[in-house]
Chains A and B, each alone.
Chain A
């Protein structure tokens, strides 16, 4: 009886030490859940969720915030987040359910006065230009977050929908006949 107790106590002690060592040895820096959530977010950095960027929102979700506050991600992102967090998918917070058309910013260059306000607003440094020089948007880097439109003092920034070309065309089951107009 006593031997059994001692053996069990020794085993418990041994495993305890092993686990304690493993916890120190294989310590994970940071919260892996935040990384996973961040990887699912669309990284537009638009701030429409109420947080200053995608990572802060990922941290907020990890701390129990709602998963349906990301309009650029839409239904797909909510579904993925619901799968990851093990909660029910919800409709988009206070928004329409229709998928939004992808857009990029476009500066009407002859109207730009070179104030650099949009450059300061861009979260991904996708606008190039200098003081009193014309600015322009690097289309391939633009996330379509909309944040540069408001600060422009002369309203020369448009959000232009991305054109469907042959490279990003999706096979349509009911193709619409397209007629060439000369």
Chain B
């Protein structure tokens, strides 16, 4: 049907319909009798970082900061993020996890603000002349005001309105079909003109063919107010909608007004429609004409357990317990505290009243047990198909339930699980009191998690394959390099015999040239007099030391020391743990192994060694702590010493750790091999047992000796290291060569150890 004929049809008051739906008791009179009132500020506000669908921004304030009312708290370049703002002026007292307004009751990153009671606004930048500005500027202002859909889902508004497609109908959703909730009703009655202003801005941005303001028939005052506000606009049409739940659902409303169905994975814009909630329109007008960000909203506080139900302007972040106190909660009407955020059909029960109000919270419902009894136990499905009749999306709820319960997610998807809008009409009519929507939500969450895992595993496969390809390539390159080197060697061998000597001579000449280049001043003196050279070297050394311990070096040494000490202590801790484990394993094998006593002894020795190492590390750490306090001149030296000592200690500890691990592995192996002869011993005669024990002891002694040797080798490694640091450049080179040789030796020794 063309746009014009649709508009005329609606103007004549003729609507289409949507399938299913239910008519639960409305109970709206509880809260819609009084005007929207303001509440006193709570003692603390908890502003969740993410209050909408999308991603959260980065926190722009830190604990202790003073914030002004309306000051931006988060920012993000991601288009799916909208910022949150300070609801009032005050101090940021904490940034951390706090119970979220979410059915899981899990905590979420939250900024805690203690209000100062002044309500001091930050500088606002309204743009009353918006019609003259480029559209992108207006959309940006709407995004910066933190506006996301206020009807329920919380889709970022700036994304919805930056659509490039042609908009035939802009539908303003004031249906509010859920029982109890009257926030939009009161807002339309009292602020119809500001909503109209918001609509004007949207019309300027989207340029739709017509604007339909849909309001349920049970709100005659709101319908009248909106009609008055929009009477000068011929293309704005207020459409009363028959009262039926869920007439306010986006897809149902479009179907009801235009007889168009939104495609499964599509958006309303695919059928030429954009829908906005009346609360969102109000917030847009606020953002453009007064520059105010979204920091408060109308919340319906209702339910039979409240003595002062009604609609209130609630700053975002107000904890629910404050709302209950203000609305005079009567706890005697509930057996157990039961607070529902949202309406009775689609809302969720809060786990704690610490949860704050967020941008999507339109209602806090505290029913009495009498008015809304706790759901009775679930019975078996009797296949009555009442749910199928009630389903507004024309699904087969009992089939979905069947497959969701059996965890047959594929089958559930075949029955279009993702078309379910979770309105709860099926669960409402179910004679067996099955919480059907819970099953669907669970199944949907499972499917989403599975999809995430699938994506992750695909990524892992790619990374694994890329890594294998890289390893292969590296291996090939190495092979090629080796082949090339071998080829070069072969060629060198084939060269005439006098060449190698030439090469040595050339190398010597090169070294000399290098030395001359490095020490242009010292060289002539050295050639003349060796004593003078030594003096020069000493001087150079002193200078080098001074340069090293100069201002910046001193600072870094100071900064490094505690860190190093910390590292050393951490290593010592890990070592101690390792040894404790070792001791434990030793104890367990005590009865089985004849060599147990030896093990115990070894463990004792290891423990002693560990204690010594720990003491050493501690002493080093203490020295490091003491050093900065002593005099400036010695302190410098001490710092160098400490840095060296800490480094040495760290290396020694790492070596000891590796050794300990190896020993532990060996020890683990040893009892097993020992156990074998022990078993034999029980069967065999005593002599064999003795022999086996002697052999085991010999093996152990040998292993110990080897370990000691390895340890002493590493010790000697450090000796040259020390010399290198005090010697001049030439000596350093020599020492390094020596150290390398020693290291190689140590490695060889270690390799010899391992087989034994």
Contact = CB atoms under 8 A, between A and B. Distances in A.
Interface of A: 38, 41-45, 53-55, 110-111, 113, 123-126, 141, 143, 153-156, 164-166, 168-173, 175, 177-180
Given A124-B467, A177-B105, A179-B352, A110 B578 contact: no
A175 to B, nearest CB: 7
Given A155-B578, A165-B106, A171 B461 contact: no
Interface in B365-394: none
A110 to B, nearest CB: 6
Given A110-B570, A113-B654, A171-B438, A125 B457 contact: no
B453 interface: yes
B463 A124 contact: yes
Contacts of A45: 460, 464
B297 interface: no
A177 B435 contact: no
Given A124-B467, A125-B466, A170 B446 contact: yes
18 contacts: A38-B461, A43-B458, A45-B464, A54-B464, A111-B570, A113-B571, A126-B463, A141-B460, A141-B463, A155-B578, A164-B104, A164-B106, A166-B102, A169-B106, A169-B445, A172-B442, A178-B105, A179-B352
Interface in B95-125: 98-100, 102-108
A113 B748 CA distance: 23
A15 to B, nearest CB: 38
Given A125-B467, A178-B351, 10 more contacts: A41-B457, A113-B654, A124-B467, A166-B100, A166-B104, A169-B106, A170-B449, A171-B438, A173-B435, A173-B438
A30 to B, nearest CB: 14
B657 A153 contact: yes
Contacts, number: 105
Contacts of B445: 169-171
B703 to A, nearest CB: 19
Interface string B454-485: 00111111011111100000000000000000
Interface in B551-608: 566-567, 570-571, 574, 577-578
B441 A171 contact: yes
Given A153-B658, A175-B351, A42 B457 contact: yes
B658 A53 contact: no
A168 B459 CA distance: 19
A178 B466 CA distance: 44
B736 to A, nearest CB: 17
By Cβ-Cβ distance, the 8 closest A-B pairs, closest first, are A43-B457, A171-B441, A43-B460, A124-B463, A171-B442, A169-B104, A170-B445, A178-B105
A134 to B, nearest CB: 10
Contact of B352 (A141, A143, A166, A180): A180
B354 interface: yes
A180 B464 contact: no
A141 B459 contact: yes
A151 B673 CA distance: 24
A180 B354 contact: yes
Interface SS of chain A: helix, strand, loop or mixed?
A: loop
Contacts of B244: none
Contacts of A178: 99, 105-106, 351-352
A55 B650 CA distance: 42
A166 B108 contact: yes
B661 interface: yes
B669 to A, nearest CB: 16
A173 B442 contact: yes
Nearest to A76: B450
A89 to B, nearest CB: 14
Contacts of A53: 464, 468
A123 B449 contact: no
Nearest to B563: A110
Nearest to A163: B106
Contacts of B352: 178-180
Contacts of A155: 574, 577-578
Contacts of A113: 571, 650, 654
Contacts of B658: 153
